[in-house]
A and B are shown apart, each in its own frame.
Chain A
């Protein structure tokens, strides 16, 4: 039995535009992705019930009153001075723990500015004292 031979046309898939499609997807991913914009001031909170007693001579309390004034040892200081004072205190006593007591109605910005100064002074033992409502 004789088979008729089919005329074969050479089949081609055009791949010239494949690169264009791929680059389109690249642009999509490039515009939607955000490169590590996460930044801030780090702190590790103490665990509940892990309160450690610290000798009172090793604590330096920095307070911020409702008006946003910063007090160290009952004396009002300006925020840029906090760094040098804390550096001095740390040089005198390396075990010093800095306790930051901020009034509930003080602006958050002031607290961050003071916290920033503490970070710049390389104080790594910082304690944020929670102030309960009505106190």
Chain B
């Protein structure tokens, strides 16, 4: 009988030393791009619109929340119209490019919305966006 020749096995190794470098690179990417959710907001159903556009600059955005009972909050503080005006004015001082996003419930009376728009106009924050959901045709 022929003698079986033993195959010499080479030890295979996958180098894992650089995985952490890749991982940390990804971490840095996420840390730089992330914007933390800072407010809870109110429970609302947004209206939907076909012409919905995206706002690209998240860092220039501030939200005004308005639910269907007419409560208004900014940064989770319940405010009246004067409060909205003063908060919007201080936000404008911090960031002149601020875009105020009005997140109002679809069933709220329009009068509440127009009051907020007037307060924002008084505060000088003129770039407004009505938050809507995208609606397909």
Closest residue of chain B to A16 (Cβ to Cβ) is: B16
Whether, in the assembled complex, B33 has its beta carbon less than 8 Å from a beta carbon of chain A, the answer is yes
Number of interface residues of A (CB under 8 A): 47
Closest residue of chain A to B31 (Cβ to Cβ) is: A29
Docked complex Cα distance between A135 and B132 (Å): 28
Number of interface residues of B (CB under 8 A): 53
Tell whether A47 pairs with B126 under 8 Å between CB atoms, given A34-B35, A38-B58, A109-B107: yes
Closest residue of chain A to B61 (Cβ to Cβ) is: A38
Tell whether A107 pairs with B107 under 8 Å between CB atoms, given A40-B53, A45-B126: yes
Docked complex Cα distance between A6 and B31 (Å): 46
Whether, in the assembled complex, A7 has its beta carbon less than 8 Å from a beta carbon of chain B, the answer is no
Among the interface residues B26, B35, B111, which one has the most CB atoms of the partner chain A within 10 A? Answer: B111
Contacts of B23 in A (CB 8 A): 19, 22-23, 25-26
Contacts of B120 in A (CB 8 A): 45
Closest residue of chain A to B120 (Cβ to Cβ) is: A45
Contacts of B76 in A (CB 8 A): none
Once the chains bind, are A106 and B109 in contact (CB under 8 Å)?
yes
Once the chains bind, are A42 and B30 in contact (CB under 8 Å)?
no
Closest residue of chain B to A105 (Cβ to Cβ) is: B109
Q: Point out the residue from B34, B113, B126 that lies within 8 Å of A46, measured CB to CB.
A: B126
Tell whether A25 pairs with B27 under 8 Å between CB atoms, given A48-B121, A130-B118: yes
Docked complex Cα distance between A109 and B110 (Å): 8
Question: A-side interface residues toward B, CB under 8 Å?
Answer: 15-16, 18-19, 21-23, 25-26, 29-30, 32-34, 36, 38-48, 64, 102-113, 115-116, 119-120, 128, 130-131, 133
Known contacts A33-B35, A107-B108, A109-B107; 6 additional CB pairs below 8 A are A32-B36, A40-B52, A47-B121, A48-B121, A107-B107, A108-B112
